[in-house]
Amino acid sequence: MFRLAHISDVHLGPLPGVTYRELASKRVVGYVNWQRNRRRHMHDAVIDTIVADLKASQPDHLAVTGDLVNLALDGEIEMARHWLETLGSPDNVSVVPGNHDAYVPGAFDKVCRSWAAWMSGDGTGEPVDRNAFPYLRVRGNVALIGVSTARATAPFMANGFFRAGQARRLGKILDATAGSGLFRVVMIHHPPVRGAVSQYKRLFGIELFQRTVNRHGAELVLHGHSHDPSLFFIGTRGVRIPVVGVAAAGQGLGGRHPAAQYNLVDIEGEKGDWQVRLTRRGLTGPAMPPSDLQVIELGADAEASRPLVKS
């Protein structure tokens, strides 16, 4: 059995010192949002509790689907790199960037340089940049495929983008890994389904992503961004590909979204006969450790809903 853990939307805090020059951009909107909202509900103590419980579950690998930071300040990017080092070896942790990691022009390139060890394919040895996505890592009989939808956007917008070049590269990877009989997991920040988030947060390229995955096949898609534990299915001609979201890893109790959770995906079997179990673990009370919130068999009988759990 291969056990894959999944967290997202960490939004590490507190914010480092911010200069007036740094706020002369979209960052001023995010700074106000942090002071009014995220600072009250996103807590490092919550993240520490979730990560400790996750490590106790002894996963074989950890997928982190974006938004490690808030305003993509240089100090935040460096802090996130140190935090990634505490999670484990880059060989055992795979990251894809989120919209907050590319919050302003130039931030994405800095993230790629700083977090390259966690966002690069096996044996590539090449610098990580926008054209390095999707990347491929193979662990046991599982192919971990990291897609980037991150791009700087205008104030009050949090959209993602999936374009033709990345779609072509993704199709080639999906075909190659299918030929090797691997269980293919696509990691992406923005949910590649309609209705999962509001229009100003949605992914541009949903149809292209779904068409690519339908044509070339995949067994599982993991995403973040919505801050909700959700389950959708995409696919055609009787093929159902589960698309799984997760609550924000740093979300405290009492917010608009469910408190912090993480996913455990247990994968067994072989091509044509995969058995997949999704377990959601998360906080239910201020003095209580994380516990199982839901266990789902991701087979033909699984039902889609959004969100699955409310705290």
Whether the upstream peptide bond of residue 290 has omega within 30° of 0, thus cis, is: no
pLDDT 10s digits, 63-95: 999 999 998 889 899 999 999 999 999 999 999
Better-predicted residue by pLDDT, 238 or 231: 231
**What's the pLDDT score for residue 44?**
61
State which fold the 2-297 domain adopts. Purple Acid Phosphatase; chain A, domain 2 (3.60.21)
The reported pLDDT for the residue numbered 255 is 75
pLDDT at position 309 is: 42
Nearby residues of 292 by Cβ (< 8 Å), 6 or more positions away: 279, 280, 281
Average pLDDT of the segment spanning 237-254: 88
Strands 142-146 and 183-187: parallel
pLDDT tens by residue, 188-200? 999 999 999 999 9
Task: Yes or no: say if 177 and 141 are a contact pair by the CB < 8 Å rule.
Answer: no
Comparing CA positions, the residue from 1, 40, 6, 12 lying closest to residue 281 is 6
Range with the largest mean pLDDT of 2-16, 38-52, 210-224, 286-300: 210-224
- Give the rounded percent of residues in the chain with a pLDDT score beyond 70: 85
Contact between 23 and 286 under an 8 Å Cβ cutoff? The reply is no
Tell me the backbone φ, ψ of residue 252, rounded to 5 degrees.
Answer: -80, 175
- pLDDT tens profile 118-154: 999 998 877 899 999 999 999 999 999 999 999 999 8
Type of residue at 166 = Q
Considering the chain, what is the average pLDDT of its residues? 87
| Structure confidence at residue 53 (pLDDT) | 94
